[in-house]
Amino acid sequence: MLIAYGLRTYWSGVGPDDGKDLLCIELQKSFFKYSEKRWLVSCKHYAGSNNSVGINDLGEITDLCKQHGATGYILICSIQPSAAVVTRLEEISKRGEITAIYWDAAKIELMISTPKLWRIAQKFMPISSESKKLNVTATEYPNQWVVTYDGFYFFLRNRIGSDYNYYFNYIENIIEEIKSIPMENEDHFVRIRSVYFDDKHFSCVFYLDYMYPNSDNPCISSAKIQEFLGDGYAKEDGRFYQFDVRTIPYFKGSDHFDPDHYDYYVPYDSYYKEGKERFRTEQEETEYYNGKEHLNSINENNRVVSFNRLENLFRNLDFLKVTRAVNCTIENLDRFYFQADWTKLLDDQEYEQERFFSAWFLFTVHDDEKFHQFISCLPQSVEHSFRLTQVQVYVPNNDKGSILVDEKNSKLYEFTVYVHPYNVKNKYIGRQLINNSFNIFSNAIEKYLNKQ
């Protein structure tokens, strides 16, 4: 810890230390002349015995400091000093010759729960730092904390309130989602830097870094990570979630590299405190834009390919004609949230009534018996279902009402493929589910055609 803070530190070695565990030299900067302060460090590890450090454990502090040429004394203990020890240290400091202070367990925990020292916690306390047990360290601000959980180190900040307990279980759920993001290998990973909870507007911002070796290409775009996690949507807890994702290459062989290096935290602290989007470099902006465009292209392809395959296979059947086909429009469902007046929205959208969770085909069937034999070959399950409905057409009958059209040589049928809304977590999962149904029916039709 002392070396990380830039102090020159010397160990006393194995065996009797003559009251000196460490000596460290602190460089004190001045406008006129730099000077050095020599500190004697005494370490007491009594956590196992649960006893406080007492006066008899210290020795003669003033004499020890003079012996080692030190003008500063630090007692570092793994539990806490007794009241008598604290008083003794304060009295020595008041005399002015020696500065005497102590670090107890709480002080050490607070210090290592910082970006600068977190890698030290990971090295010397790997079990605790990787534990799923929630470890929250308070800061000098009542609405800000430092969190270690399941190997992640991040800041947690509320806009107003001073309590995090009532919503942290939802953060745990998001962490599990982050861990489930598909990666190429263990050298590609996502780290959480900070979480900002706007308890006034009930929204949450996660700051994430996707990190990959600079010898590789990214295996996933920041736009895809946002889509995977549901950026811009409210989740089951009712909160609105945003994910600020940066893509960062790193050189694994560098002695400066650490996945939780303070360079990933300190420069962005003002953004973390206010829930603002972090600045991106020109390269990051280009990557993000290209990733968005590529993702939109993939999503559009996913929207139409499976549906078009099914429609074309229906057209290959000689006993029916596809009179009309309408794809599922689940991608448009969330757009109704953004406008109070839906009139223009309906004009602009590829919208069909009741087609958010289903696709619809209108068949003109010329051989009814052969058609029903074919339909009986299509598999169904709870997840993959269809509904077949015969259509009766009525037309105006002058002033006498309506009259049924007698279709002697053909019949009309509606074939509807649908997914249950209960299974649809978001529009991407909904599209995947209905595409799975399209593909199952397409495979069955290909099998039917191959037998003819």
Which residues does 58 contact at the CB level (< 8 Å), separation at least 6? Answer: 42, 75, 85, 88
pLDDT at 419: 87
pLDDT at residue 15 tops 60: no
Q: Which of 35, 38, 34 is nearest to 9 (CA)?
A: 38
Q: State the Cα–Cα distance between residues 7 and 29, nearest whole angstrom.
A: 13
pLDDT tier at 247, thresholds 50, 70, 90: very high
Q: Which of 300, 304, 273 is nearest to 207 (CA)?
A: 273
pLDDT at 284: 86
Q: Are residues 263 and 124 in the same domain?
A: yes
Using the 3D structure, point to which of 279, 313, 331 is the last residue of a domain. 279
State the residue for tokens 């996660």: 206
pLDDT tier at 114, thresholds 50, 70, 90: confident
What is the count of structural domains for the chain?
A: 3
pLDDT tier at 372, thresholds 50, 70, 90: very high
pLDDT tier at 150, thresholds 50, 70, 90: confident
pLDDT at residue 427 tops 70: yes
pLDDT at 48: 76
pLDDT tier at 112, thresholds 50, 70, 90: confident
Q: Are residues 97 and 64 in the same domain?
A: yes
Q: What is the pLDDT of residues 271-322, one digit of tens each?
A: 999 999 998 888 888 888 998 999 889 989 999 999 999 999 999 999 999 9
pTM exceeding 0.95: no
pLDDT at residue 192 tops 80: yes
Q: State the Cα–Cα distance between residues 174 and 154, nearest whole angstrom.
A: 14
Using the 3D structure, point to which of 92, 109, 126 is the last residue of a domain. 109
CA distances from 107 to 52, 75, 101, 250 (A): 15, 12, 12, 32
pLDDT at 131: 64
Q: Are residues 352 and 429 in the same domain?
A: yes
* Over residues 243-250, mean pLDDT: 94
The domain of 154 spans 113-279
What is the number of other CB atoms lying within 10 angstroms of the CB of residue 424? Answer: 19
Q: Are residues 332 and 316 in the same domain?
A: yes
Q: What's the CATH code of the domain at 256?
A: 3.30.70.1420
pLDDT at 336: 63
pLDDT at 345: 55
Q: State the Cα–Cα distance between residues 366 and 443, nearest whole angstrom.
A: 23
pLDDT at residue 122 tops 80: no
Q: Are residues 123 and 257 in the same domain?
A: yes
Q: State the Cα–Cα distance between residues 384 and 441, nearest whole angstrom.
A: 9
Give percent of the chain above pLDDT 90.
46
Q: Are residues 239 and 329 in the same domain?
A: no
pLDDT at 139: 84
